[in-house]
């Protein structure tokens, strides 16, 4: 009996040593949200990350990461280090054959346009604001919709391996209203990008950002503050899309994360 009490005591004692709370599972591609005492310093794999005045912070686990995540917390006089094992995610392989060649490799005359689109997207994703909207719960952008594409799928088009699909695809009719998944600020609103067509990017703070693509209508403009649930546009098939659907992305800066890690799909 005494021994059990001692064990319980030690268990509670050592757990309380962690002055940190973490939300999210340590799977490849996941977004992790943390909270610790305000005015602490947080290091992920030796690089210092932003912490809000309330002690909130966010970081991602990249798609193919295998090594453990080392979290270091420094506050006042104590330093603490936590090691987290990363769990693997199984990614699908998608083979599509018989596509017109110009859909597999873009024609030379659009290279300049693609370069410019990429520049705009990476500028929007580099914003490191103080907002902490990422702490809040994400909502689905379209309710009662079927998921037709998931994060990480390796695409082989006409036998050529292409970069993986980083989005989450929702099947929906053209014109279906799309709701903002989370409060945020519009950092990009473009009607006609080469790959992504009608595109919106939102900043949710600390580098956490979401992107919506292939939109038909866009109801928001750059700089606008948007509330979760607001209608931001409608489903389309603009850009390089095989049909009407919504493709959403989740990033922390330029690290591409799995939108499913923040959406409750079950
Ligand atoms: Zn997609």
The secondary structure of 169-207 as a DSSP string is: EEE--TT-EEE-SS-EEEEEEEEEETTTEEEEEEE-STT
Q: How far, in Å, is the centroid of ligand 1 from the Cα of 149?
A: 6
Q: How far, in Å, is the centroid of ligand 1 from the Cα of 148?
A: 8
Q: How far, in Å, is the centroid of ligand 1 from the Cα of 54?
A: 36
Surrounding residues of ion ligand 1, Cβ less than 5 A: 149, 167, 169, 247
Q: For residue 27, which phi and psi values (nearest 5 degrees)?
A: -100, 150
| Strand duo 93-96 + 154-157: pairing | parallel
Q: For residue 174, which phi and psi values (nearest 5 degrees)?
A: -55, 135
Q: At a CB cut-off of 8 Å and minimum separation 6, what does 203 contact?
A: 124, 127, 129, 131, 184, 185, 187, 209
Q: How far, in Å, is the centroid of ligand 1 from the Cα of 246?
A: 7
Q: What is the pLDDT along the chain (266 residues), one digit of tens a residue?
A: 677 776 666 555 555 556 899 999 999 999 999 999 999 999 999 999 999 999 999 999 999 999 999 999 998 888 999 999 999 999 999 888 887 777 778 889 999 999 999 999 999 999 999 999 999 999 999 988 899 999 999 989 889 888 899 999 999 999 999 999 999 999 999 999 999 999 999 999 999 999 999 999 999 999 999 999 999 999 999 998 889 999 999 999 999 999 999 997 76
Q: For residue 59, which phi and psi values (nearest 5 degrees)?
A: -155, 165
Q: At a CB cut-off of 8 Å and minimum separation 6, what does 49 contact?
A: 42, 43, 57, 58, 59, 206
Looking at residue 248, its pLDDT comes to 98
Q: How far, in Å, is the centroid of ligand 1 from the Cα of 203?
A: 20
Looking at residue 37, its pLDDT comes to 93
Looking at residue 9, its pLDDT comes to 62
Looking at residue 101, its pLDDT comes to 79
pTM: 0.90
Looking at residue 7, its pLDDT comes to 65
Q: How far apart are CA 227 and CA 185, in angstroms?
A: 9
């Amino acid at each position: 009996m005494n021994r059990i009490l001692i064990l319980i005591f030690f268990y509670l004692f050592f757990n309380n040593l962690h002055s940190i709370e973490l939300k999210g599972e340590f799977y490849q591609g996941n977004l992790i949200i943390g909270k610790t005492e305000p005015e602490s310093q947080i290091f992920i794999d030796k690089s210092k990350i932003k912490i809000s005045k309330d002690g909130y912070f966010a970081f991602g686990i990249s798609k193919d990461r295998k090594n453990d995540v080392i979290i270091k917390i420094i506050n006042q006089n104590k330093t603490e280090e936590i090691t987290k094992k990363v769990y693997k995610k199984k990614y699908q392989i998608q083979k599509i054959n018989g596509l017109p060649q110009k859909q597999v490799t873009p024609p030379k005359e659009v290279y300049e346009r693609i370069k410019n689109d990429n520049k705009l997207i990476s500028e929007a994703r580099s914003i490191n604001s103080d907002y902490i909207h990422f702490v809040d719960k994400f909502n689905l952008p379209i309710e009662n919709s079927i998921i037709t594409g998931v994060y990480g799928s390796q695409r082989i088009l006409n036998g050529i391996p292409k970069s993986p699909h980083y989005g989450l695809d929702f099947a929906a009719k053209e014109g279906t209203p799309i709701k903002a998944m989370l409060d945020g600020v519009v950092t990009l609103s473009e009607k006609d990008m080469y790959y992504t067509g009608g595109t919106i990017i939102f900043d949710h703070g600390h580098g956490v950002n979401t992107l919506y693509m292939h939109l038909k209508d866009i109801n928001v403009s750059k700089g606008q503050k948007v509330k979760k649930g607001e209608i931001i546009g409608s489903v389309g098939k603009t850009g390089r899309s095989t049909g009407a659907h919504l493709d959403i992305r989740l990033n922390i800066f330029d690290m591409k994360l799995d939108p499913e890690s923040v959406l409750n799909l079950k």
